[in-house]
């Protein structure tokens, strides 16, 4: 849904709410006559597109609906806020999002068409426009049917399996980033949005190390209700199991109607992720099948070593407990559409500094300390024996 009467700051053009007395981005005071309309709306973009509406905005950017007047084709355009264009890390993360979503190329991930920089220095990416319902809005009405919840979880896990096998972890999986729509052939389809927090795991190959980490170490990134314990601790080394934990939280909430951990204060939610064991789903909603309990409790294990190792393992357990005889998607079909892992790493590697040669391990000379110690011990033993026998 487009925003109603979208307005923008007179100085930095960042989105503002009519009640804002100052721009939240640059601090500019609201003019006496109020904030002006967003200047991007109605503008021509990339020669062929016209910006029609502002769909939404967040801390790092705004998303607009654009139309090709000749064909009627629609696209979503995401602009990084102008005030952030000097932040090299955010810019790099913005570009990594574009490369990753374009290269994954599967139906369950919103596709990126192009990315670049406008004449005024604003970074943008163009994406497919998806009309559908946000999972967060759907869950606001209460628990989903078991069949719908399992199918949504299956598609999310398929997308995660494809991404993880290509060294990509999402790190901000939540209902607000899941869109429910239909594929061109009419099949129900779940789309994962916003890979802005995605991390491409470092990879070594051909004598080079690609330092593709583009987020600050020890920074807690994610949404509190759906963050894994290791994210809550701000751990530096994350892997795909952090996404599996988030997927477990989402599935738990879909079938019970409540998240496994809740509190008024976000910090209290994080503490519960770290310390409080989740209640089995059947204790929240006794009508649920008991087969859900072990799957969800394993997904929500505090120690990631106790969780499932891969999304494919979770899918296998779901299929055993709830046979997917009528599921419209298969993992093999989805995976076949994605780029090879080496292609994604190569493309992302082009966005970071030149690869650094992997240093050879230092050549170790003879272990003189050990040799001298052994020799000294033999001499001492010889003296003792000589004294004893003489």
User: Is 351 within 8 Å of 322 (Cβ atoms)?
Assistant: no
10 Å CB burial of residue 138 (0-12, 13-18, 19+) is middle
Same domain, 209 and 324: yes
Is position 47 annotated as part of the catalytic site?
A: no
Instruction: Write down how long the chain is.
Output: 390
The candidate with the shortest Cα–Cα distance to 174, out of 134, 143, 146, is 134
Same domain, 319 and 232: yes
**In a structure prediction context, what are the per-residue pLDDT tens digits for the chain, which is 390 residues long?**
666 568 999 888 888 888 999 998 889 999 999 999 999 999 999 889 999 999 988 778 889 999 999 999 999 999 988 888 888 888 888 888 888 888 888 999 998 898 899 988 889 999 999 999 999 999 999 999 999 999 999 999 999 999 999 888 888 899 999 999 999 888 899 999 887 666 766 444 333 333 344 444 444 455 889 999 999 998 878 899 999 999 999 999 999 999 999 999 999 999 999 999 999 999 999 999 999 999 999 999 999 999 999 999 999 999 999 986 677 898 988 888 887 877 777 777 666 544 444 444 444 445 555 455 555 655 655 655 555 455
What DSSP element (H or E) covers 154? helix 146-165
Domain finish residue from 128, 161, 179: 128
Scored b (16 or more CB within 10 A) or e, 62-90 reads: bbbbbbeeeeeeebbbbbbbbbbbeeeeb
Tally of structural domains, the chain = 2
Indicate whether 110 belongs to any domain: yes
Same domain, 165 and 261: yes
Same domain, 59 and 147: no
Indicate whether 197 belongs to any domain: yes
Alpha carbon distance 94, 89 (integer Å): 9
The candidate with the shortest Cα–Cα distance to 79, out of 58, 101, 100, 50, is 58
Give backbone dihedrals phi and psi of 160, rounded to 5 degrees, phi first.
-65, -40
Domain finish residue from 128, 150, 180: 128
Alpha carbon distance 20, 321 (integer Å): 51
Same domain, 155 and 250: yes
**Cβ-based neighbours of 24, under 8 Å, separated by 6 or more:** 14, 16
Alpha carbon distance 151, 149 (integer Å): 6
Same domain, 93 and 184: no
Alpha carbon distance 221, 243 (integer Å): 12
Same domain, 164 and 151: yes
Query: According to the model, what pLDDT value does residue 97 have?
Result: 82
Assigned token pair, 11: 């100085």
Indicate whether 367 belongs to any domain: no
Indicate whether 342 belongs to any domain: no
The candidate with the shortest Cα–Cα distance to 129, out of 78, 171, 87, 177, is 78
Alpha carbon distance 113, 334 (integer Å): 19
Q: What CATH number has the domain bearing residue 201?
A: 1.10.510.10
User: Is 66 within 8 Å of 76 (Cβ atoms)?
Assistant: yes
Domain finish residue from 284, 305, 331: 331
3-state SS, residue 265: coil
Indicate whether 341 belongs to any domain: no
Query: According to the model, what pLDDT value does residue 245 have?
Result: 97
Indicate whether 245 belongs to any domain: yes
Indicate whether 111 belongs to any domain: yes
Alpha carbon distance 157, 306 (integer Å): 18
Tell me, what DSSP letter sits at residue 320? H
Question: Cβ–Cβ contacts within 10 Å for residue 103, how many?
Answer: 22
Give backbone dihedrals phi and psi of 2, rounded to 5 degrees, phi first.
-70, 155
Same domain, 233 and 90: no
Q: What CATH number has the domain bearing residue 100?
A: 3.30.200.20
Same domain, 121 and 142: no
Same domain, 100 and 152: no
Same domain, 80 and 143: no
Indicate whether 376 belongs to any domain: no
Instruction: Name the residue range of residue 318's domain.
Output: 133-331
Cα separation values, 118 from 11, 44, 69, 124, 126, Å: 17, 12, 20, 7, 12
Same domain, 118 and 151: no
Which listed residue (68, 114, 137, 172) is catalytic? 172
What is the dihedral sign for C-alpha 212, 214, 218, 221? negative
């Amino acid at each position: 849904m487009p925003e109603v009467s979208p307005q923008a700051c007179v100085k930095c053009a960042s989105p503002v709410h009519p009640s804002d007395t100052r721009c939240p981005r640059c601090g500019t005071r609201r003019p006496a006559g109020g904030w002006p309309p967003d200047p991007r709306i109605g503008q021509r973009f990339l020669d062929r597109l016209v910006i029609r509406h502002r769909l939404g905005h967040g801390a790092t950017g705004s998303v607009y609906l654009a139309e090709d007047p000749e064909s009627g084709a629609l696209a979503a355009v995401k602009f990084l806020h102008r005030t952030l264009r000097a932040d090299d890390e955010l810019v790099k993360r913005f570009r990594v999002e574009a490369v990753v979503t374009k290269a994954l190329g599967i139906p369950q991930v919103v596709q990126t068409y192009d990315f670049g920089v406008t004449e005024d220095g604003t970074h943008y990416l163009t994406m497919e426009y998806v009309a559908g319902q946000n999972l967060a809005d759907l869950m606001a009405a209460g628990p989903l049917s078991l069949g719908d919840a399992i199918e949504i979880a299956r598609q999310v896990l398929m997308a995660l399996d494809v991404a993880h096998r290509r060294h990509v972890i999402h790190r901000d999986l939540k209902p607000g980033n899941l869109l429910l729509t239909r594929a061109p052939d009419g099949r129900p389809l779940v789309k994962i949005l916003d890979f802005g927090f995605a991390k491409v795991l470092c990879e070594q190959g051909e004598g080079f190390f690609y330092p593709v980490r583009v987020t600050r170490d020890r920074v807690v990134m994610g949404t509190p209700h759906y963050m894994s314990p290791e994210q809550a601790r701000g751990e530096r080394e994350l892997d795909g199991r952090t996404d599996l934990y988030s997927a477990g939280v989402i599935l738990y909430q879909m079938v019970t109607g409540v998240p496994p951990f809740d509190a008024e204060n976000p910090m209290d939610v994080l503490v519960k992720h770290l310390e409080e064991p989740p209640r089995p789903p059947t204790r929240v909603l006794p009508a649920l099948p008991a087969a859900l309990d072990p799957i969800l409790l394993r997904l929500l294990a505090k120690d990631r070593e106790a969780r499932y190792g891969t999304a494919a393992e979770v899918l296998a357990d779901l299929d055993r407990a709830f046979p997917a005889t009528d599921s419209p998607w298969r993992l093999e079909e989805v995976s076949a559409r994605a780029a090879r892992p080496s292609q994604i790493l190569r493309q992302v590697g082009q966005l970071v500094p030149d690869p650094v040669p992997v240093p050879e391990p230092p050549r170790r000379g003879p272990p003189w300390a050990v040799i001298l110690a052994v020799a000294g011990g033999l001499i001492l033993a010889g003296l003792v024996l000589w004294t004893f026998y003489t």
